[in-house]
Amino acid sequence: MSWPPSDAELTALGERVVADSAGAVGAFRVTYGELTIGAPAHRIVEVLTWLRDHAELRFEQLIDVCGADYPQRSLRFDVVYHLLSLTRNRRIRVKVQTDEDTAVPSVVAVFPAADWFEREAFDLYGIFFSGHPDLRRLLTDYGFHGHPLRKDFPMTGYVEVRYDDELKRVVYEPVKSVEFRDWDFLSPWEGAEYAKPGEGYPYELPGDGKAEGGA
């Protein structure tokens, strides 16, 4: 296979994967020069083991496991696995779907590197992985409420954290108010290229005068 592979080569590979998978891979598509295959969630261990061990495929390295949220679907989550074949110089993406309550089998036994990837997907999306050796939050705090990469998670979060000087510890409180700000990313210490001091167009920032005065 050439590099980067052509769409025709990826299509031929996708057709072979579907034909040889004994029904474990149901469909594939080639978009933006990448091959994506779909599999039922309950067969993901079988699929990844087969992709790793097949003599003509040899996808022996797991690059990433991540989630994607589509709340309008009954199976709202995609779990996405990115694999690399160092032997064949190929990449492939595997997708399965699940909902908020149905666990996806852990693939840690197939690719030990999936351990923290699955914990991250659980933490940020609330996707469960059955058989995972230690399914705990990874990036958020132990007292964190919700899953911040879900589309319905509020931008403010549910709780705010502060240090209580009387209690001498960090406390969690429900979000009471949000201060919305209009941020201006132009620094008055440097001055805007298109706004010369004294002209006021389109506006003049405090301190812009130093740009020409050398202060």
Residue 25, domain CATH: 3.30.460.80
The total number of structural domains that make up the chain: 2
CB 57 within 8 Å of CB 94: no
135-180: per-residue pLDDT in tens?
999 998 877 889 999 999 988 788 877 888 999 998 888 877 655 5
Mean pLDDT within 43-68: 96
Same domain flag for 115 and 191: no
Same domain flag for 116 and 185: no
Domain that holds residue 191: 181-215
Whether residue 91 is contained in a domain is answered as: yes
Q: Which residues contact 183 (CB under 8 A, 6 or more apart)?
A: none
DSSP element (H, E) containing 156: none
Question: What is the average pLDDT score of the chain?
Answer: 85
Beta bridge partners of 163: 170
Is pLDDT above 80 for 200? no
Among 130, 165, 193, residue at a domain's last position:
130
CB 129 within 8 Å of CB 41: no
- The number of beta carbons lying within 10 Å of the beta carbon of residue 71 is 10
pLDDT level of residue 186 (50, 70, 90 thresholds): low
Question: Which range has the worst mean pLDDT, 37-51, 125-139, 141-155, 195-209?
Answer: 195-209
Is pLDDT above 80 for 197? no
More confident residue, 186 or 13: 13
- The number of beta carbons lying within 10 Å of the beta carbon of residue 172 is 13
- Of residues 175, 139, 134, the one with CA closest to residue 66: 139
**Helical segments of the chain, H only:** 7-20, 44-53, 114-125, 210-213
**What is the pLDDT at residue 207?**
55
d(CA 30, CA 40): 19
- Of residues 161, 183, 182, the one with CA closest to residue 172: 161
Residue 149's alpha-carbon distances to 106, 120, 167, in angstroms, are 20, 11, 32
Same domain flag for 125 and 185: no
Same domain flag for 16 and 103: yes
**pTM for this predicted structure:** 0.77
CB 52 within 8 Å of CB 58: yes
Is pLDDT above 60 for 203? no
Mean pLDDT within 5-17: 92
Whether residue 14 is contained in a domain is answered as: yes
Same domain flag for 107 and 186: no
Environment class of 201 (CB within 10 Å of its CB; exposed 0-12, middle 13-18, buried 19+): exposed
